[in-house]
């Protein structure tokens, strides 16, 4: 009897020692208690369970990998993937150090592609975040300015007939204006250059609506409504019966606060013989004002 008890206590102590080394403390204590309260049967049950989990590849349960699991669910330093964290959501974090870490790492790696987030970071109360955001915006502006200068030199040498080069130039100009870089004078010059490039591309490809819509987007953003009216007339003349000019006219009428014109455009959209896109149908549903609804 005494020999059996001594063997049981020795087995329990050995199991406890092995469990403490491999398992979280709480789990090790619970399993040791089971071995102690169920002589031989507790040990046998746990051994069979562990072997089964190992054979089924489920032995690497979170209980076995406490450190790895903690890294997966915690927000401790180094416990995040900087390339998958939505930076806009970091403003919801209460931990200022973690927010700073996320922003500065992303900015240092130049993975912030959302200009709105970057502009928000410039005005952040955290000086380190604001400093790195300003540095990145300045570096991007310098890079875009250098690219524009190089493209302008190439266009002077190649001429406006080089369409791939002209498209690259227009895309770089649009990126420069979208970044908010430069003073008002330089931005006005760049916008004029962009409109000239888009006009040349639209002339070369009269079947395309892309360049008209890009030009109208720039003109509406800058408040140049008179120029927008002229571009819109050219757009409607080259693409009669299509919904694109009507949608652009609806945006222009909205920007100029012309409700009667908006109502007329919506009615014209409804009478088009072509099949309307989802955008056109959404515009009709939103802006159509029937007398009984007023």
Each residue of 202-257: pLDDT tens digit?
A: 888 888 899 999 999 999 988 899 999 999 999 999 998 899 999 999 999 999 99
- The helix/strand/coil state of 79 is coil
What is the reported pLDDT for 234? 92
* HSE-CB for 75 with a 13 A CA cutoff: 11
What is the reported pLDDT for 77? 40
Sign of CA dihedral 126, 129, 135, 140: negative
How far is residue 93 CA from its own chain's centroid? 18
Among 209, 195, 218, smallest CA distance to 246 is for 209
User: Mean pLDDT lowest for which of 59-68, 139-148, 242-251, 269-278?
Assistant: 59-68
- Over residues 44-48, mean pLDDT: 80
Residue with tokens 């005005």: 123
What is the reported pLDDT for 108? 59
Phi-psi region of 59 (alpha: psi -120 to 50; beta: other; left: phi over 0): alpha
Helical residues (DSSP H) of the chain, grouped into ranges: 2-22, 25-37, 41-55, 66-73, 96-108, 115-122, 127-158, 163-178, 184-204, 210-222, 225-238, 243-255, 259-270, 278-287
What is this structure's pTM? 0.54
What is the reported pLDDT for 255? 92
- Residue 126 pLDDT greater than 60, yes or no: yes
Give the whole-angstrom CA distance, residue 21 versus residue 23. 6
Among 120, 119, 121, 117, smallest CA distance to 129 is for 121
* HSE-CB for 40 with a 13 A CA cutoff: 4
How far is residue 254 CA from its own chain's centroid? 28
- Residue 76 pLDDT greater than 70, yes or no: no
Q: Each residue of 84-122: pLDDT tens digit?
A: 445 555 555 556 677 677 666 666 555 455 566 667 777
- Over residues 125-133, mean pLDDT: 75
What is the reported pLDDT for 93? 55
What is the reported pLDDT for 235? 92
| Higher pLDDT among residues 26 and 72, named by residue | 26
- Give every CB contact of residue 218 below 8 A, 6+ residues apart in sequence: 174, 177, 191, 194, 195, 198
User: Mean pLDDT lowest for which of 4-18, 147-161, 221-235?
Assistant: 4-18
What is the reported pLDDT for 74? 39
Give the whole-angstrom CA distance, residue 134 versus residue 157. 35
What is the reported pLDDT for 109? 59
Q: Each residue of 169-198: pLDDT tens digit?
A: 898 888 888 777 777 888 888 889 899 989
Exposed / middle / buried, residue 273 (Cβ in 10 Å: 0-12, 13-18, 19+) = exposed
What is the reported pLDDT for 256? 92
How far is residue 257 CA from its own chain's centroid? 32
What is the reported pLDDT for 66? 44
């Amino acid at each position: 009897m005494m020999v059996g008890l001594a063997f049981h206590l020795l087995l329990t102590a050995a199991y406890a020692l092995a469990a403490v080394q491999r398992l979280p403390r709480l789990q090790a204590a619970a399993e040791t208690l089971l071995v102690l309260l169920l002589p031989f049967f507790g040990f046998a049950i746990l051994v069979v369970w562990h072997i089964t989990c190992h054979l089924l590849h489920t032995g690497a349960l979170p209980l076995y990998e406490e450190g790895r699991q903690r890294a997966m669910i915690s927000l401790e330093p180094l416990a995040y993937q900087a390339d998958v964290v939505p930076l806009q959501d970091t403003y919801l974090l209460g931990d200022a150090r973690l927010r700073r870490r996320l922003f500065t790492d992303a900015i240092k790696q130049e993975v912030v592609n959302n200009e709105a987030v970057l502009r928000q970071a410039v005005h952040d109360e955290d000086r380190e975040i604001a400093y790195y955001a300003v540095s990145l915006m300045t570096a991007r502006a310098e890079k875009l300015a250098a690219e524009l200068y190089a493209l302008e030199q190439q266009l002077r040498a190649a001429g406006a007939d080089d369409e791939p080069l002209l498209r690259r130039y227009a895309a770089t100009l649009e990126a420069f204006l979208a970044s908010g870089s430069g003073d008002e004078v330089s931005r006005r010059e760049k916008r004029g250059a962009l409109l000239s490039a888009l006009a040349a591309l639209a002339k070369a490809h009269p079947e395309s609506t892309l360049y008209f819509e890009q030009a109208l987007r720039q003109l509406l953003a800058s408040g140049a409504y008179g120029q927008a009216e002229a571009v819109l007339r050219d757009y409607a003349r080259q693409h009669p019966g299509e919904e694109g000019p009507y949608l652009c006219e609806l945006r222009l009428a909205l920007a100029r606060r012309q409700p009667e014109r908006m109502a007329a455009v919506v009615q014209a959209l409804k009478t088009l013989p072509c099949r309307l896109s989802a955008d056109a149908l959404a515009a009709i549903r939103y802006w159509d004002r029937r007398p009984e609804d007023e």
